[in-house]
Structure 1
Amino acid sequence: MMDAETITAAIANNVRAQRAHRGLTLDALAARSSVSRGMLVQIEQGRTNPSVSTLTRIASALGVTVARLVEVSDVPVVRIVKAAEVVSFPQGEGAARLLIGADAPMILELWDWRLAPGDHHDGDAHPAGTREMLTVLAGELTLTAYGKSHRLRVDDAVLFTADRPHRYANEGDEELRFVMVVAEPKEAPDQ
């Protein structure tokens, strides 16, 4: 697994480069992402390791994947991410691991989540047209979306529109593990 310092430096460089590429000021990115200017300064200077939620908001505002923001090297035609290169974000006693992602022709991310009993993660609303698919590998997941809770067990799968806040929770007695794909259109669909 890559060390935190390398990942923090990659995030700093990638956020700064993506913002500059789009001609955005820090204030403009702050307004688009709902992340404070001060936090953006800390991220771009490599002084903080942002949460998954913060990175998701920044990535969405920039029109790229979280994977693009944590990427350490250029993407070749065939990209293999070795286990040691996977980026991990602590989630209580568990972790959310971003296995791989792409941003062309659409934004895709593949995640491996582990949540300890009693832990949860509140996902922010993604842009319109975003879908999430996941399957439970171990334990039991309580997914709350659109104001309704759904219980998924091992080998159950779900597809849902993720344009509103949602929650992944482990209300069971054993570790929860699930794999998730986030598919976000490059541009918002016509309303």
Structure 2
Amino acid sequence: MHSAVDLATQVGARVRMLRTERGISLSELARRSQVGKGTLSELESGRRNPTLETLYALTTALDVPLSAALHTTGPSAEISGAAVDAVLTERFEDASAVTETYRVRIRAGSTQESAGHTPGTTEHIVVLAGTVRVGPLDAPALRVGPGEHATWAADVPHLYQAPENDVDALLVIRYPRQSFGTESD
């Protein structure tokens, strides 16, 4: 496991590199991601721990998968948000897509609403324990219990919700290559 300081430093450096490679200013990335410029500056300098929500906003604005900011941190780097804790366990790339696998825990009684990812992105969940509600915000959420799985379009706003107990699951996110801008991760 990485310490929070190591993770903040490594992720911040990676976000800065991705931003500068794309020729995007700090102000422009803050505007596109709706992340405060001060927060972004602190994150890039390693003085602020990244949250799952912030990293998703930044990587979506940078037109790269979430793992572009995480995969250099090594295995078992845990990133947490308001409702979800995630550990990137695998990143697979081929000519057609980048596929990420996360071990996730969704905390009981919590809901995570995520903005849409790049066009064509899909998410797949396999529930290990608990019952989760997942899917697009504008459609009835799917209830998925232990041993069950679900798939949904993740290029639209979507949610993860653990109505009763903590949920442990595997989450697979597939980003088609044609949905990215210039990617050099």
TM over 0.5: yes
Q: Name the CA distance, whole Å, in 2 between partners of 1:101 and 1:149.
A: 27
Identity value in percent:
26
Partner residue in 2 for 1:38: 38
Partner residue in 1 for 2:132: 141
- 1:84-163 map, 5 Å: 85-91=75-81, 95-102=85-92, 105=95, 106-145=97-136, 146-163=138-155
* Structure 2 unpaired stretches of 5+: 181-185
TM-score (norm 2): 0.85
Moved more, 92-101 or 63-72: 92-101
Pick closer, same or farther for the CA change 1:6–1:104 going to 2, 3 Å. farther
Partner residue in 2 for 1:71: 71
Pick closer, same or farther for the CA change 1:34–1:9 going to 2, 3 Å. same
Pick closer, same or farther for the CA change 1:94–1:52 going to 2, 3 Å. closer
Partner residue in 1 for 2:28: 28
User: Offset at 1:92?
Assistant: 5.4
User: Offset at 1:38?
Assistant: 1.9
Structure 1 stretches of 4+ with a deviation exceeding 6 A read none
For residues 114-149 of structure 1, the C-alpha deviation after alignment (integer angstroms, 9 at most, x for no partner) is 123212222221122110011111111112423312
Q: 1:11 aligns to what SS in structure 2?
A: helix
User: Offset at 1:87?
Assistant: 1.4
- Give the number of equivalent residue pairs: 178
Partner residue in 1 for 2:183: none
State whether residues 84 and 112 of structure 2, in contact with CA within 8 Å, keep that contact through their aligned partners in structure 1.
no
State whether residues 120 and 169 of structure 1, in contact with CA within 8 Å, keep that contact through their aligned partners in structure 2.
yes
* Structure 1 unpaired stretches of 5+: 74-80
Q: Name the CA distance, whole Å, in 2 between partners of 1:182 and 1:4.
A: 24
User: Offset at 1:179?
Assistant: 0.6
* Aligned-partner residue type, residue 101 of structure 1: R
Q: Name the CA distance, whole Å, in 2 between partners of 1:162 and 1:93.
A: 18
